[in-house]
Each structure stands twice: as C-alpha cells, then as structure tokens.
C-alpha cells in the first residue's frame, strides 16, 4: 500500500480485480448477455471503440529521474473548486440494470475520495435522490429535450439540488448505430430503465398523453432524439443557469473555438466511448490539437479510453485538466456493488499516483510537462 496524502485509500482483505481486463471478464460472466453487450459494445464495427484503447499504447512518456517525489499532490482546481485528484466519474445511464442501487452506489463510493460524480439524464434515480445520497461534488449531464420546458426544468432541479455544473452532451442528437444492441433486440430505455429523473419531472409528466408506462417510454425516447440541437441553444442555456456549462463531445479544434466564442466554461474531448459514431478519431488523438486551440482559456477535460492510471497520466501530459472514467467503474459496480466501485477507485488512484512518482512528477502542474513521444 502506498504512503499517500489521500487519507481515504481503501484497505481491504477481499481480493478485488486489479486489471481492467479481469473486471471486464468477470462482469461478462456476472451480467445477462444483453446487458453486458450494451455496456461493452460500440457503434457499427466498433473500430473507434477499439482504437480508443489501443491508441493509448502509441503514446510513450519519458520519465525524469533523481527527483524528490516523496510528497505527491494530485489535487487540482477546477471551475473554482479544489478537488483531491483530476479523476471524475463519467455520466453513465441506466445503471440500475447493472446493480439495483445503481447511481446511489456509485456516488457513495465516489464520496469516499471526494470525486465528482456526473449524473446522467437517463439515471435510474432522481436528481434529488442522488443529491441526498452523498456530499461529494455532483454535476448534471443534460440531454437536450425537444420540450424546452423539460430541458430547463431539469437544469433548475440540478441547481436547486446543489449540483455544481451542467454537462451538455452534444454528440447524441440521435442514437448511434449499435449493431450489438440491434442483434440482441435490447434497448434499456424501451425496457423501462433510466426513468428516474423523468418520472419525477413535472414538466415532462404534464406533456405525456397519459400516465401509462408506454407513454413514459415513448416520451423519453422522443424527447432525447433532437437532431436540431445547435450553437444557438447554448445561448439559451446560459440565460437559464448560473452554473458552469461544459460541452461533452468535442473532437474538432474549430468546435472547441466555437465553444469559446459561445461562452461555455469548459469542454470534454470525447467520442462517447466509441458508442455513437464509428470510424472517427480516437479521443486521445484529438486532444493535443484542441488543447492548443483552447490555449488555457477554459478547462479541457478528457473522456473515452481511460482504463488505468497510466492512461489518465498520459491524457494529462497531453494537456487535459481532468479525466473521466466510465466502463471500468460500471464493471466494478456489476461485480461488487458500492464496495466494488470503492475498491476500483482506490486501486485507480494508487495506480495514478505510482505513475506520477515513477515519471518524476509531484503535482498535476508538473505532470502536464511530462514529455511524450508518439510512435
């Protein structure tokens, strides 16, 4: 066990998988085939999904030695808040199909390390339930609804519940072509998952044709399918909230510059974990050009392909201010519930810290100066 400044590192006598590959393998045997496939799979032929992971191996850090790395500070300041690490739990919907406690288990595990938790619009629990479950920072991930009253009511609920940022996902104006889900004939939303926020939203409920479950499902699916989303909607969102607005799904430097122009507070470089569009750039390859374009004016976060602490450090060395973790904590939730997520996060933080020590850096500021060579 590392000697770390984080007092909340979990000690355990229960052997929990350390390797991402083992998490994935055990989760596959734990979950129903269609559920595991939904989590694991990507769009179309899954080339982008695979490249998100494999491309990390092409980036090689050059360590500096004979430096005093006895005291490691992993903390960052993000949107005016001091955080203990640059690690954030990505928004993942329909978690209740993985574990009955879903988002509540994950946010409680994240609280152990005071990590921000981003709640999905298609969460299994309401904004208010998740807010009351823990004291760590929470952000709300927004899928823009066709019904503007629903969109802005959800934003207002997040504000009232003490959430600290709005993460607008911009790469899901329609659902990606996911062959694996089509093969299994499986849609979590169509099966009643992910209704927690919707079934507690007065603006949404008042718009339904009736109170049936079918009307609920049809209403959710219809609302989040919104191909008319464009930059002008950002202007409207800024009028409705004082919270920082973060755009998730940026891959092109020109879109990053437009985000600056429209006054957003941060961006997340992401290809949705390879789940939306196949044959596009791996997120890690998109990161350097976007960091250069933004030039420190707003925070640049990174998502898609983070599996280990080593990956997270590479993303930071390439300019990311913080990184999002997705599938690994979902697999951990499937295997061990709240305690499984807690143990995974403990392992990940220690892995990240070990990599900082061995590359010769003591802070995230120094980590951004790690020299990287691409094969």
Which of the following is catalytic: 29, 184, 233, 272? 272
Binding residues for FMN: 91-93, 120, 141, 169, 248, 270, 303-307, 326-327
Q: What SS3 string covers the chain? A: CCCCCCCCCCCCCCCCCCCHHHHHHHHHHHCCHHHHHHHHCCCCCCHHHHHHHHHHHHEEEECCCCCCCCCCECCEEECCEEECCCEEECCCCCHHHCCCCHHHHHHHHHHCCCCCEEECCCCCCCHHHHHHHCCCCEEEEECCCCCHHHHHHHHHHHHHCCCCCEEEECCCCCCCCCHHHHHHCCCCCCCCCCCCCHHHCHHHHCCCCCCCHHHHHHHHHHHHCCCCCCHHHHHHHHHHCCCCEEEEEECCHHHHHHHHHCCCCEEEECCHHHCCCCCCCCHHHHHHHHHHHHCCCCCEEECCCCCCHHHHHHHHHCCCCEEEECHHHHHHHHHHHHHHHHHHHHHHHHHHHHHHHHHCCCEHHHHCCCEEEEC
Binding residues for glyoxylate: 38, 143, 178, 272, 275
Binding residues: 38, 91-93, 120, 141, 143, 169, 178, 248, 270, 272, 275, 303-307, 326-327
Name beta bridge partners: 166: 140, 245
Active site annotation includes 272:
yes
Residues belonging to the active site: 272
């Amino acid at each position: 066990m590392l000697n770390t400044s984080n007092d909340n590192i979990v000690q355990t006598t229960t052997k929990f998988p350390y390797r991402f590959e083992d998490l994935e393998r055990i989760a596959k045997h734990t979950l129903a085939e269609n559920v595991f496939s939904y989590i694991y799979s990507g769009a179309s032929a899954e080339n982008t999904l695979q490249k998100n992971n494999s491309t990390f191996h092409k980036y090689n850090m050059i360590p500096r030695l004979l430096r005093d790395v006895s005291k490691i500070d992993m903390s960052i300041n993000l949107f005016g808040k001091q955080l203990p690490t640059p690690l954030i739990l990505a928004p993942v919907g329909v978690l209740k199909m993985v574990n009955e406690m879903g988002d509540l288990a994950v946010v409680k595990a994240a609280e152990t390390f005071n990590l921000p938790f981003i709640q999905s619009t298609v969460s299994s629990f309401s904004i208010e339930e998740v807010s009351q479950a823990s004291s760590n920072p929470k952000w709300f991930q927004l899928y823009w609804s066709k019904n503007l009253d629903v969109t802005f009511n959800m934003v207002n609920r997040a504000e009232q519940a003490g959430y600290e940022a709005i993460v607008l996902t911009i790469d899901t104006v329609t659902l990606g072509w996911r062959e694996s889900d089509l093969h299994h004939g499986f849609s979590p939303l169509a099966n009643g998952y992910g209704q927690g926020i919707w079934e507690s939203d007065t603006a949404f409920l008042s718009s339904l044709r009736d109170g049936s479950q079918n009307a609920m499902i049809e209403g959710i699916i219809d609302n989040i399918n919104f191909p008319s989303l464009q930059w002008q909607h950002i202007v409207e969102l800024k009028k409705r909230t004082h919270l920082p607005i973060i755009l998730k799904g940026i891959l092109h430097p020109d879109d990053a510059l437009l985000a600056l122009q429209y006054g957003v507070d941060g961006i997340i470089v992401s290809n949705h974990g390879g789940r939306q569009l196949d044959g596009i750039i791996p997120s890690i390859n998109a990161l350097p050009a976007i960091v250069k374009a933004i030039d420190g004016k707003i925070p640049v976060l990174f998502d898609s392909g983070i599996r280990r602490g080593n990956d997270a450090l590479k993303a930071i060395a390439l300019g990311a201010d913080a990184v999002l973790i997705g599938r690994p904590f979902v697999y951990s939730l499937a295997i061990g519930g709240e305690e499984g997520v807690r143990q995974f996060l403990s392992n990940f933080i220690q892995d990240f810290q070990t990599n900082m020590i061995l590359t010769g850096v003591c802070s995230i500021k120094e980590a951004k100066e790690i020299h990287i060579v691409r094969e």
